[in-house]
Amino acid sequence: MQNYPKHYCGVFGVFGHPNAAELTYYGLYALQHRGQESAGIVACEGHQFREYKRMGLVSQIFTTDILHGLRGQSAVGHTRYSTTGASHLRNAQPLTGDSKRGQIAIAHNGNLTNAAQLREELEDRGAVFTTTVDSEIVLHLLCQPPKGSDENNLLQAVRRLEGAYSLAILTEQELIGVRDPFGFRPLCLGRLDDGWVLASETCALDLISAKLEREIEPGEIVIIDKNGPRFLQAFPAHNRRAFCVFEYVYFARPDSNIAGRNVYKVRVEMGRELAREHPLQADLVVPVPDSGNCAALGYSLESGIPYEMAFVRNHYVGRSFLQPSQLIRDFNVRVKLNLITELVKGKRVIVVDDSIVRGTTCKARVNNLKEAGAKEVHVLVSCPPHRNPCFYGIDFPDPSKLMAVTHTLEGIREYLDADSLGYLSEAGMVKATGLPADSFCMACYNGNYPVPYDEQVDKHIMERRRSRIEGLTEGLEKETMQIKLL
């Protein structure tokens, strides 16, 4: 069972470089943490699009020969975790289409809250969908006959979208980046020699030695062509921004910079805030690798309590492995992290992690420490309790599966068998970022959703579509039976 929230997706694009596909490969490699289910690259040479997509990790999918076959001076890539749509190859991105204006490839990070309504509308107008991902809706909107210039068509398409999205779009002449008006997802622009780069995070620019030019602003579109980048504001100026604060807490790589803040430094500061809010008497501060490393260091620096890497992470655990059902107790836990018993025996231990979602993994960590002879185990979390689902692209489960919904704080502590339990406050989390509270979406903590989402409308449309598909299936089965009888 997945006990941490899964990552969303990573997008990357290159324009005007002879090794566009190879650079995109390295960019996706740097963004692998954002999605491990599938990856793909589409390259453009003149009017010719070439694509390669597979299930699995970036390093497993692309070989030198495959990259050499993806010729062209522009490319777009995507590494995916499925937030909308099942984990199948047909849902892997980038998605491609052929329109009156030429070929288009799109890579999408985020979740559209009006996806069901838009898809229903497009299907009523004759659109045929080949995937179950909301990203294909964007592709259909972009391929609609233009009303005026291509630029106007792009603006009209983007303005139909609601929810969270950062897009990298490749056409035969351009690379386009789009960020939603609330700025839920990160997107930045870089420069490499005479070429230009779009990336979800700055760490991807660092790997290919590209220089960060600037972040794409919320509601902004950047269009990169042979004349360089130009910027459009697709929406009226928004006073309210809603960047996903969980990027700072967990998702983004610590070597990335977002909104001028280094993620590593923000996480260390979250640990310092934890120490101010929850001062404890203990012998060791121990992180849960790798997500708790920075916050645990911050707690240690602020409190003066020694920091020890008592849990050792196995970095070579694949996505699947032989699981002995009864042979090794807690195998799923122990195969990823092993405890150095000598460091914790007889000690009062503070264990720091970035979040508790379902609680089962954290419980196993506490058990490990107590079995190893830890005198006390105190659990601290570098964000507030998760009490609400996310509709914008994070795989937080429904509320009935969230530990902070089904249990009181004391109930969680008892379930974990911890000597004490403390969460960082919402104010402390925001303070650690150095940005105003209204810069963020914190709906998973406080239930304040920046973009409305009508779950009942979405459910109604999906059920109607399902009944239609089941009706078609039933009709085909009857026809097959009649053919067999004949």
Annotated catalytic sites, by residue?
9
Q: Round to whole Å and give the CA distance between 223 and 435.
A: 29
Tell me the CA distances in angstroms from 219 to 139, 215, 230, 392, 417, one per residue in order.
Answer: 18, 12, 14, 16, 46
Q: Which of 356, 352, 353 is nearest to 445 (CA)?
A: 356
DSSP notation for 295-340: HHHHHHHHH-PPB---EEE-TT--S-----SSSSTTHHHHTTEEE-
DSSP classification of residue 265 = H
Residue that the structure tokens 């060791």 belong to: 284
Residue 107: both structure tokens together = 């890579």
DSSP classification of residue 91 = G
Residue 27: both structure tokens together = 């960019």
Q: Round to whole Å and give the CA distance between 197 and 184.
A: 20
Report CA Rg, the chain.
24
Are 201 and 158 a contacting pair, CB within 8 Å? Answer: no
Angle at which helices 150-159 and 135-142 cross, to 10°: 150
Beta bridge partners of 230: 223
Tell me the CA distances in angstroms from 139 to 167, 172, 435, 471, one per residue in order.
Answer: 11, 15, 34, 28
- φ, ψ of residue 332 to 5 degrees: the values are -60, -35
Q: Which of 277, 203, 197, 214 is nearest to 16 (CA)?
A: 197
Residue that the structure tokens 């056409």 belong to: 171
SS3 195: strand
Q: Count, in order, helices (H) and strands (E) of the chain.
A: 18, 23
Give residue 367's Cα distance to chain centre. 30
Residue 145: both structure tokens together = 């006959």
